[in-house]
Amino acid sequence: MIKKIYLIGNPNVGKSVVFSRLTGVKVISSNYPGTTVGITKGYLSLGEEKIEVVDLPGTYSLEPTSKAEEVAVSLLNELPKQEIVIINIIDSTNLERNLFLTLQLIEEGYPVIACLNMCDDTAHRGIYINTEELEKILQVPVISTCAVTGAGIKFLIGRLKEAHIQERNKSSHEERWKEIGRIIEAAQKLTHKHHNLRELLEDASVRPLSGLLMSIIVVYASFKIVRFLGEFLITKICDPVFLNFYQPLLLRLNSALGEKSLLSHVLIGDLINGQIDFKQSFGVLTTAPYIEFAMVLPYIFSFYLVLSILEDIGYLPRLAMLLDNLLHKLGLHGFAIIPVLLGFGCNVPGILATRVLESRRERFITSTLISIGIPCVPLQAMIFGLLGAFGGFYVFGVYGVLFSLIIIIGVILNRTLKGYSPEFLLEIPPYRFPQPLILAQKLYYRIKGFIFEAVPIVLLGVLFINVLMYVKAFDFVTGIFAPVIQGLFGLPKEAVVALIIGFLRKDVAVGLLGPLDLTAKQLFIAATLLAVSFPCIATFIVLLQELGLKDLVKAALIMVAVTIAVGTILNFVIIH
Amino acid sequence: MKRLSLVKMKESGKGKVAEISGGSALANRMMSMGIYKGREITKLSHFALRGPVAIKVGRSTFALGHGVAAKILIDVDTE
């Protein structure tokens, strides 16, 4: 009787794709080690029974080296070995290295079934695996699968019950590698293949000169595509829909509500020259949906499309290697670039992804740097939307300030925090062609996440702000902070509201700056401060969960200090 | 035969792992990734200014930080 099924395997062998195939639960998969940092659970129907399936973070061995791996290994011993089945996912294109974990699992007495994944990728690499021979040697069921297309998954399910506990002597690591050598000799044949274009590109991307050149092209092209696609969606689709279809409806609603009524104030907001201005009116039905659907959503779409393609191709670990040197100066190593890149979409998944980093110190530095220096897509989209009107110079200015802050704070943290920078040791995956279906699912999953999490908060937030403004509740708070805001930062005192709302959501906060008629310099300072000051509440909760209270307080103090310093310096250094 | 660290080895050179110094934790971690004494490796590249080193082991490519690379000694054939 099987009570639980665990999926375990080396990093980046496609565990999450197999998991999706078995359970129907959609999870994010990418082509780099460490996509899964948490535990995902789902159910597989096997006849009448429903069995829990657990997708574990990737690990090279049963001796954990990071927090994510520790979790994976400890979970395996929750239930007695007789009641579980372990599906060991193996990358067919790299059988030799993967067998180390397989043998370890068998020796430890787990009931194992081996799943040779990515079997479609072997033939053109000149790899031929004799699964029957392998099955005979290992004494466990061996099934070839290609999870991205679903091939072989049925056979895998059909043979689950054949998994059984074996009595095997435990061997030393050296002996195990010798045994693997013999197994490979017997069960795998390699034919020599000439280097193809893909392999040439794979190697070029990890060489200093060609790698740097490639990274500049990739990063520049990605930025351009995100910007172009985002703008295209806004001007060609979102704006026309809002202006031509939605606005007339709202105007009719407004006259029905009666101008100057509380309802009109809350739902529609202020009319600018007798017209609804979606960027300034600030009503629950006007600016709130406009911000989310016509300013932010197009960029969410274009950003995640480009990021997902880069992830699935397998480019990101190469970028990590190129940036290793720079990141060492900040007390991190190359791999920290992956949480940082995810943080550009939304800080929450970025901070969660820091779990793949080995030490607590690295996780603290990375999380703090993400919270301060990495603006999420909603914030960036709003900065493009509002500050972009004054010229690209200011927009680049914000990025310039943020980038300098990351370097400065990183170097200071690295010098002052106890501990050392850990070593960089990362597997560079082969390039893979992104599977359109997997890509579309991932994009859908991420956009859905945005809509369901962000939109309700934005609508409620705007409602809340409008009611408070109507009863003039903010006057008290603006009065208290006026000296700092006006005296140090050179902003009108109403900007306090925006900075406070920034704690709720950054896009709404920038939206609040719209109606204030700020000068370019003021908007530049306010936008930069929104980026560096406290992250939004969702990020705060994850920070608390990942860092603990003590480190969160430490990070928060750094944020307050940085906010005050940056605001003051920018105000007094920029004259115009 | 010459023994030198992965850092000193020349690019696109081949050799066999002779020793991994720097504690058993590192050696074990490398071991589980398939980098162990006697294993043949190819050095792909090396980044300047104490940058990372890329190596090929079997069918895997690994990026190793400068610190790790310095701890791996390789036996290289001298012609």
CB contact under 8 A, B45 and A207: yes
CATH number for the domain harbouring residue B51: 2.30.30.90
Which tokens sit at A307?
């990021």
Q: What does the pLDDT read at residue B79?
A: 60
Q: Strands of A425-428's sheet, edge to edge?
A: A425-428, B60-64, B53-57, B40-46, B14-20, B72-76, B2-5
Domain that holds residue B46: 2-76
CA-CA-CA-CA torsion sign (B56, B61, B67, B68):
negative
Contact A334 B63 (CB under 8 A): yes
The Cα–Cα gap between B23 and B67 comes to 13
Number of domains chain B is built from = 1
The SS3 assignment for A50 reads strand
Cα A532 to Cα A1, A6, A370, A400: the distances in Å are: 54, 41, 10, 13
- Backbone dihedral angles phi then psi of residue A26, each to the nearest 5 degrees: -85, 125
Q: Which two tokens stand for residue A70?
A: 């520790």
- For residue A405, pLDDT over 80 is answered with yes
Q: Which residue has the tokens 């300098």?
A: A404
What are the helix (H) ranges across A79-172? 95-107, 131-138, 153-158
pLDDT at residue A562, rounded to an integer: 95
- How far the first Cα of chain A sits from its last, in Å, is 75
Residues of B whose CB is below 8 A from A94: 58-60
CB contact under 8 A, A206 and B61: yes
pLDDT exceeds cutoff 70 at A415: yes
- ipTM here: 0.94
Cβ contact B62–A427 (<8 Å):
yes
Cα four-point dihedral sign A77, A82, A83, A87: positive
Encoded tokens for A408: 């400065």
- Mutation to test the A interface, candidates B10, B12, B29, most A Cβ within 10 Å: B29
Q: Taking CB atoms and an 8 Å cutoff, what residues of chain A touch B26? A: 423
Compute mean pLDDT per 10 residues along chain B, 79 residues long, and list them: 91 92 85 92 92 93 93 87
Distances (CA, A) of A77 to A62, A81, A86: 12, 8, 11
CA separation for the pair B71, B68 (Å, rounded)? 5
- With 80 as the cut, is the pLDDT of residue A1 above it? no
Cβ within 8 Å, pair A173-B48: no
Least confident of A31-35, A339-343, A389-393: A31-35
Closest listed residue to residue A281, CA positions, set A237, A257, A250, A316: A250
pLDDT tens sequence across A209-242 = 999 999 999 999 999 999 999 999 999 999 999 9
CB A451 within 8 A of CB A378: no
User: Which pLDDT score, from 0 to 100, does residue A380 have?
Assistant: 94
The amino acid sitting at A317 is P
Q: Is B70 on the interface with A (CB under 8 A)?
A: no
DSSP string, A277-323: -TTTS--TTTHHHIIIIIIIHHHHHHHHHHHHHHHHHT-HHHHHHHH
Give the mean pLDDT of A65-77.
Answer: 80
Q: Is residue A478 pLDDT above 80, yes or no? A: yes
Which range, A164-168, A416-420, A516-520, A524-528, is most confident?
A524-528
d(Cα B15, Cα B6) in Å, to the nearest integer? 9
The residue of chain B nearest to residue A65, with distances taken between CA atoms, is B29
Question: What pLDDT does B5 receive?
Answer: 93
All residues of chain B having their beta carbon less than 8 Å from the beta carbon of residue A191 are none
> What's the pLDDT at A484?
86
Inter-chain contact A425–B65, Cβ cutoff 8 Å?
yes
Between the ranges A64-78, A187-201, A478-492, where is the mean pLDDT highest?
A478-492
Flag whether pLDDT at A244 surpasses 70: yes
The reply to whether A49 touches chain B by the CB within 8 Å rule is no
- Quote the mean pLDDT of chain A: 90
Find the mean pLDDT for residues A253-279: 86
Band the pLDDT of A575: cuts 50, 70, 90. low
Q: Residue A162: pLDDT above 80?
A: yes
| Helices vs strands, H then E, count in chain B | 2, 6
DSSP A486: I
Amino acid at A258: G
Better-predicted residue by pLDDT, A24 or A318: A318
Q: What is the pTM of this model?
A: 0.90
Is A163 strand, coil or helix? coil
How would you list the strands of the sheet with A40-46, edge to edge? A40-46, A49-55, A4-9, A84-91, A112-117, A142-144
pLDDT score for A315: 95
State the pLDDT at residue A421.
74
Interface residue A387 vs chain B (CB under 8 A): no
What local confidence, expressed as pLDDT, does residue A106 receive? 95
Pick A143 or A484 by higher pLDDT. A143
Mean pLDDT of all residues in A143-166: 92
- Is A103 an interface residue toward B (CB < 8 Å)? no
Instruction: Spell out the SS3 assignment of A233-253.
Output: HHHHHHHHHHHHHHHHHHHHH
**pLDDT (mean) for A44-60:** 89
Please tell me the distance from the alpha carbon of residue A322 to that of residue A311, in angstroms, as a whole number: 16
Q: Which residues contact A178 (CB under 8 A, 6 or more apart)?
A: none
